[in-house]
Structure 1
Amino acid sequence: MQRVRSTLCKTPLTQFVIATLCAAGTQVSYAQAAGAQTSGDLGSVQSTAVSSSGNSAAASRKVESAPAQAPSQGSLTATEPQSTISRRYIENSTAPTATYSDIANIAPSVQSVNPNGPGLMESAGVTIRGFQDGQYNVTFDGIPFGDTNDFTHHSTSFFTSQFLNGITVDRGPGDASQIGFATFGGLLGMQSKDPTMTPSASLIGSYGSYNTWLAGAEFNTGDVQQLGDARAMFGYTQSSSDGYLTGAAQRRQNVYFKLEKPLGDDTLLTLFATYSKIHQDVSYGTTAAQIAQFGPNYGLSSDPTSQAFSGYNFDLINTDFEYIGIQSKVAQWAIDNKLYTYGYYHNGFNGMDPNGETPNGTIYGANNVPGQEMNNNYRAWGDVLRAQRDLGPGTLELGTWLAYQTNFRNNFNVDDSLNFAFTSPNFAMNDNFLTWQPYIQYALKLPYGLTITPGVKYASFTRHLYSDMNQGSGTPVDFSHTWTKVLPSLQIHEQINPVWSAYAQYAQGFLAPNLNALYVNNPAISGQPSPEQTDNYQIGTTYKTDRVTASVDLYYVNFKNAVTNQTIGGVTFFQNAGGAIYKGVETEGTYYAGLGFSLYGNFTVNSAKQKGTNDWMPNSPRETAAFGVIYEHGPLTGSLITKFIGRQYGLTGNQIPIGGYAVTNLATGYTFKSPSPWFRDVRLGFQIDNLFNRTSIDWLAGQTVADGTPLYYTVPGRAFIGTMQMDF
């Protein structure tokens, strides 16, 4: 302990971080009363690579410890607030149908709204510190992806939880190496499982409330010496549910494949591919009057004469995601390259006004049911290159991200009564974008475990829209524009001792305007909006032993040209809200109490307000929290965890207040070891989601077209889920 006291006296960063966090905690408490992607990790090929969670090897091997049982935990090596969610939490405490957004919901400052049950429809909203989807990055194995028009994501598409090894939630812009469309809001980084070294097979089946079932299988070849030590993993899952919301059924299929093959002693080849197919009936929200009349689970109707009929409101979605990865050591360089492509093909149908404010009638008949049909199809190609080497007293890292994406979108009116017969066009357009982000940074290693990492990234983004009938204006358009920005960053990280670290960070953020900026008669004359830009400041500290994991951080984001959105009739519109300040304090920790029990908790105080008016930014909770008990001893596991979301507003101007709410989930499991010569393990699981059956309003889904009536989603009611997994 004497060495720790000596180090604290000699390092200004430690003193500054601790003093500032203590002062900030006092200030925020008073204010309330008054009012990874891990950089530089090139994988197993690089001998110095570290775990993204920062666990020591001993801690990771010890099941009955705080780092092993923590639902989410900070990192000793990160240079910004980061929470890592492990495969153990995914398997033991989340529903088999859960998506990445359901899983990430446990992390500090994260809000995930899933009105139909876990994974049973696309998440209505996923926010980090109040930043909306599209204002932060989502990656898979380090590859950024998103929609062409507004960089948002579809939580039920592409990936299932069955092949996720973990999720990293970075709450901040990262260093220069953190690439993506919108680094300033943070990162949800999914990591895929690796094929195992020994042959194995697994079968999984689950059944629960809303007639929800899932079945799947996974096979690992193990190390195949005849194929040069190649190892591969194949998997398939299929699920079906009637959904919590009436009429909102879903059917989903997914297949995945991953192969790893060493090429010599210093190179690893990785091939990955996944394909998914979804049919989902979609509710666009419910009015307060409908909730009062039909209950909080009202979604769609069974009446074929209604625009809310489930047979008129559905999506057909097919997606694929593939990459070829090379990790290698060449001379003094460690190189990681991924060449990738992904595609999203969406054919959607909806009634003209499912909430009943627009009367029936089309050109084919006065009583016929009007509706709309749309297509949104895009294909992306890209490459992510990272390289690093030791140079002098530190490590030099450089790389680049290059991506090109094409998109076709159209929308037209139809007669739902006549098998979606065409009545009139609304728009049809093609667009594409090209983005390029090269970066360079140098991690200078100094005495006392101090590392200073200055870096710079150049962001270039070009949009091109060409259409005979532009959305919004209805006029022809052929226009392109390029936005660029140089983004400096500076990270200071101190490894105080093997179990304690601290950091401070500054970085600039950038996000090019959404495609809707070109939805005007003549974009060249109308002028181009400025991109969203931020200055991010953060400090924090992490402490981690077998007994305790604890993290605390303070953040301040100066936001320029903040964009908000409003959904009317299922169509999202964006507006520039001007400047905004995002700030807050975040904490999380796990304490291992002994006998297999751990206590977990996180708590955040968040503020996101417009500069001019001091109004709250929409969908920005004032607080978030999670707390609970985790148990794992021998064959038995269990967790009882409550997630709390504080008050927020659905629109700018402090309109549509939405109260805070809490949801408690219970999960238990028991593993039978080698119950027969055929099985290696058999695991039985049982979960109760929303144990206390809270069904309050939790999200503003949008507004009706005719009268602007607010539409809401509610917390899905209590659900029971039973699961059996057999490992061979």
Structure 2
Amino acid sequence: MFTAAAPAAFAQSSGDLGAVQSTATSDSTGAATSTKAQTAPAQAPTQGSLTASEPKSIINKNYIQNSTAPTSNYSDILQIAPSVSSVNPNGPGLMETQSLSIRGFQDGQYNVTFDGIPFGDSNDFTHHSTSFFTAQNIGGIAVDRGSGDASQIGFATFGGTVAVSSIEPSLTPAFSVLGSYGSWNTWVTGATLNTGDLEKWGDARAVVGYTHSSSDGALDNVGQRRDNVFFKLEKPLGNDTLLTLYADYNKIFQNTSVGATAAQIRRYGSSFALNGDPTSQAYSGYNFDRINTDFEYIGLQTVLGGWKLDNKLYTYGYYHDGFNGMDPNGETPNGTSFGADNVPGTQMANNYRAFGDVFSAEKELGPGTLKLGGWITHQSNFRDNMNVDDTLNFALQQMNYTMNDTFLTFEPYVQYAWKLPYGLTLTPGVKFVSFSRSLNSPLNQKSGEAADFSHTWTKVLPSLTLHEQIDPHWSAYLQYAQGFLAPNLNVFYVPNASVSGQPSPEQTDNYQLGTTYKTDRLTVSADLYYINFRNAVTSTTVGGNTVFSNAGGAVYKGFETEATFYAGYGFSLYGNLTFNSAKQKSTGDWMPNAPSQTAALGVIYDRGPVHGSLISKFVGHQYGDTGNQQPIGGFMVTNLAAAYTIKSPTTWMRNTRIGLEIDNLFNRTSIDGLAGYTAQDNTPLYWTIPGRAVFATVSTDF
């Protein structure tokens, strides 16, 4: 929407750098195919990679720009991919995603990276989809469904990796503006400046952008205001070195909902959430988040002594003040220590800062390529929670907990890609994971006592992949890898967290095989997977608080496929289909939020100035809780998008794009997720699909 030069595949060369490429670290399509728009790889919403050694779905800028709403987050964009389901009850990007599932693995059980840098919360490694990045500074997304080889770093090395990449500065200068308006009084405005190639500055190029959005939201009184500014500079230092500077700042105010009971949905409709009554615990003025975030890194790529070196030194911060009514669903009567009719509520803070470094080095050595590297990160976090009197402007009643925690993660790895005859490459590798967690609290969560605990978990993780490049358009792979996830901070929410009593980490053995075929006419991928999961941790939300439990062993297995066929005259047909199983070993019960099937079907048109798409996504039957409780029926949502680009409407305007997006075309508003339970009566709370939404967008370059 913003940039004039969005690449069809999001790994892009940088000027005259010779041996070094840009810092967007997501995989390219790996295709020996044309880059023109009338091909299957260019039009595919998702596609596999010819070079990947595990199931991978690549989503390029073309799909993000033309087939998603301008308010979308990465979670909204990637839900088109195989085995992915997402719950966004307030509309695209207008509320934190409540359940983003990949093969049944939940947020915190897979990695999310930005330009190759893993990030996440310190307590449970989850992510805040409305924080940090917007659709306007995302260049593409690759969804790796699996633990990958030894070089795949992150907190959760078995559930997969969502690899988000930043946009690339364009080679030509452009100043772009965007405006959008749509359902629920949703506004998006913004501007982006691309400097183009600055020859007098040593072929440096930069992009800087700003986006403002506001919306009333699909849910009643659940509004959002958001501002984002980002900057990226790429500066060649000679022919073999590239310096990259990136910075991103995000400020958001958003009302928060905890879901609605079935009775409330039946009586008031699927949009029931908050109200405008200051005497109610569901008053919108008592239920909101204020969040400020930043994300910065310095990247350096170079070639030295035959080694290709890549290093990123980074920091990111997250500062969150949250306010909620004590019981927005009405089961707890009003009354505080300050007054019998006063409105009770809660207030929390979650502030953290992370510093880290990601390094890799590779060199052609003998009959293959040696690659080694590592990741080190340290995060410090302050958290507190208190009961307040909302009527008296959040006056303190009782401190529930206050704590400081830290963790230190170190993941070095080494692997060797041994090139064999007949296009075969055998890659053994090993990664060492060390995870140290500490907690210091004068008032610990749950126990209510002082706490000063620390512990370190370590694990050696082997991997082995066999990749065959059958011909320039066809490849296959076989993979085995072990996965690891350190325990949640909640293991320290006890009176005495002895070292000997610490639980074992979540661990997996991952087996995968698959194939990818890609030409201008057709791109198709398919795979089978089997995952033996030990110490599977599940969670349930009760009264707004998340409770964790160990479900024991589980087996995840399934079949996945995706394909795009270019039919000619600008038309392509797209589809994906998965059959997934995620069940506990001891009981045979389904794991929570693990759909039994996902599918997508659509048609894309891209020829000349016209782009259009009609795509349906189906998510199959699932359960919202352990023990086959809270069944959620299957549902399908259809989105329609169309755009027309005028190359030169005036002498001072170019690439003027007029777009229309209709989400949930058939207005399906059924229940699509379990939100948790009320604290008073343990009544189930649900999320629903947001109703039909229409967004009109205009953008142009100057």
Question: Which category of TM-score, normalised to the shorter sequence, fits these structures?
Answer: over 0.9
* Deviation (angstroms), 1:52: 2.0
Counterpart residue type for residue 536 of structure 2? A
For structure 1, the residue ranges without an aligned partner over 5 or more in a row are 1-35
Candidates 52, 71, 93, aligned match of 2:45: 71
Cα distance change on mapping 1:45 and 1:302 into 2, 3 Å: farther
CA distance in 2, matches of 1:44, 1:367: 69
Q: What residue is the counterpart of 2:275 in the other structure?
A: 301
Q: What residue is the counterpart of 2:27 in the other structure?
A: 52
Candidates 703, 706, 712, aligned match of 2:686: 712
CA distance in 2, matches of 1:711, 1:207: 31
Q: What residue is the counterpart of 1:672 in the other structure?
A: 646
Any residues of structure 2 matched to 1:317-356 within 5 Å, and which? 317-356=291-330
Report if the CA contact (8 A) 1:240-1:249 is conserved: yes
* Deviation (angstroms), 1:223: 1.6
CA distance in 1, matches of 2:417, 2:596: 36
* Deviation (angstroms), 1:627: 0.5
Candidates 518, 521, 524, aligned match of 2:492: 518
CA distance in 2, matches of 1:502, 1:68: 22
CA distance in 2, matches of 1:480, 1:203: 50
Regions of 4+ moved over 3 Å:
43-51, 55-58
SS of the residue 2:263 aligns to: helix
CA distance in 1, matches of 2:277, 2:420: 71
Counterpart residue type for residue 303 of structure 2? K
CA distance in 2, matches of 1:436, 1:46: 29
Report if the CA contact (8 A) 1:230-1:262 is conserved: yes
Cα distance change on mapping 1:526 and 1:454 into 2, 3 Å: closer
Any residues of structure 2 matched to 1:245-260 within 5 Å, and which? 245-260=219-234
* Deviation (angstroms), 1:144: 0.1
CA distance in 1, matches of 2:615, 2:500: 51
Candidates 204, 207, 232, aligned match of 2:206: 232
Report if the CA contact (8 A) 2:539-2:549 is conserved: yes
Name the stretch that deviates more: 232-241 or 194-203.
Answer: 194-203
For structure 2, the residue ranges without an aligned partner over 5 or more in a row are 1-8
Counterpart residue type for residue 146 of structure 2? G
Any residues of structure 2 matched to 1:108-507 within 5 Å, and which? 108-507=82-481
* Deviation (angstroms), 1:226: 2.3
Counterpart residue type for residue 54 of structure 1? T
* Deviation (angstroms), 1:53: 3.4
* Deviation (angstroms), 1:183: 1.5
* Deviation (angstroms), 1:222: 1.2
* Deviation (angstroms), 1:525: 7.1
SS of the residue 2:291 aligns to: strand
Cα distance change on mapping 1:520 and 1:426 into 2, 3 Å: same
CA distance in 2, matches of 1:227, 1:596: 41
CA distance in 1, matches of 2:510, 2:701: 46
* Deviation (angstroms), 1:54: 2.8
SS of the residue 1:522 aligns to: coil
CA distance in 1, matches of 2:20, 2:334: 67
Q: What is the count of residue pairs matched by the alignment?
A: 689
CA distance in 1, matches of 2:368, 2:47: 27
Name the stretch that deviates more: 227-236 or 389-398.
Answer: 227-236
* Deviation (angstroms), 1:297: 0.6
Cα distance change on mapping 1:228 and 1:47 into 2, 3 Å: closer
* Deviation (angstroms), 1:176: 0.3
CA deviations 1:499-540 (Å, max 9, x no partner) are: 000000000000000000100001117811110000000000
CA distance in 1, matches of 2:698, 2:244: 31
Cα distance change on mapping 1:411 and 1:675 into 2, 3 Å: same
Cα distance change on mapping 1:452 and 1:44 into 2, 3 Å: farther
CA deviations 1:179-208 (Å, max 9, x no partner) are: 000010001000111111221111011000
CA deviations 1:568-596 (Å, max 9, x no partner) are: 11111110000000000000000111110
Report if the CA contact (8 A) 1:368-1:416 is conserved: yes
Q: What residue is the counterpart of 2:80 in the other structure?
A: 106
CA distance in 2, matches of 1:110, 1:424: 41
Cα distance change on mapping 1:44 and 1:357 into 2, 3 Å: farther
SS of the residue 2:536 aligns to: strand
CA distance in 2, matches of 1:500, 1:599: 20
CA distance in 1, matches of 2:525, 2:220: 42
Report if the CA contact (8 A) 1:117-1:243 is conserved: yes
Q: What residue is the counterpart of 2:6 in the other structure?
A: none
Cα distance change on mapping 1:349 and 1:47 into 2, 3 Å: closer
CA deviations 1:9-42 (Å, max 9, x no partner) are: xxxxxxxxxxxxxxxxxxxxxxxxxxx999xx9x
Report if the CA contact (8 A) 2:20-2:242 is conserved: no
Counterpart residue type for residue 301 of structure 1? N
* Deviation (angstroms), 1:46: 3.7
Q: What residue is the counterpart of 2:669 in the other structure?
A: 695
Q: What residue is the counterpart of 1:602 in the other structure?
A: 576
CA distance in 2, matches of 1:613, 1:560: 14
Report if the CA contact (8 A) 2:33-2:519 is conserved: no
CA deviations 1:250-279 (Å, max 9, x no partner) are: 000000000010111211000000000000
CA distance in 1, matches of 2:32, 2:655: 25
Higher relative helix content: 1
CA distance in 2, matches of 1:636, 1:167: 24
Report if the CA contact (8 A) 1:37-1:178 is conserved: no
Counterpart residue type for residue 329 of structure 2? N
**TM-score, structure 1 normalization:** 0.93
Q: What residue is the counterpart of 1:20 in the other structure?
A: none
* Deviation (angstroms), 1:104: 0.3
SS of the residue 2:361 aligns to: strand
SS of the residue 1:417 aligns to: coil
* Deviation (angstroms), 1:58: 3.9
Report if the CA contact (8 A) 2:524-2:561 is conserved: yes
Counterpart residue type for residue 52 of structure 1? D
CA distance in 2, matches of 1:57, 1:589: 17
CA distance in 2, matches of 1:37, 1:382: 25
SS of the residue 1:88 aligns to: helix
Cα distance change on mapping 1:48 and 1:232 into 2, 3 Å: closer
Counterpart residue type for residue 53 of structure 1? S
* Deviation (angstroms), 1:225: 2.1
* Deviation (angstroms), 1:77: 0.4
Q: What residue is the counterpart of 1:529 in the other structure?
A: 503
Name the stretch that deviates more: 292-301 or 136-145.
Answer: 292-301
Counterpart residue type for residue 326 of structure 2? M
CA distance in 2, matches of 1:62, 1:455: 37
CA distance in 1, matches of 2:676, 2:547: 10
**TM-score, structure 2 normalization:** 0.97
CA distance in 2, matches of 1:424, 1:532: 35
CA distance in 2, matches of 1:287, 1:423: 28
CA deviations 1:316-342 (Å, max 9, x no partner) are: 000000000000000110000000000
CA distance in 2, matches of 1:114, 1:343: 24
Identity %: 68
Report if the CA contact (8 A) 1:37-1:168 is conserved: no
Q: What residue is the counterpart of 2:620 in the other structure?
A: 646
Counterpart residue type for residue 211 of structure 2? T
Counterpart residue type for residue 84 of structure 1? I
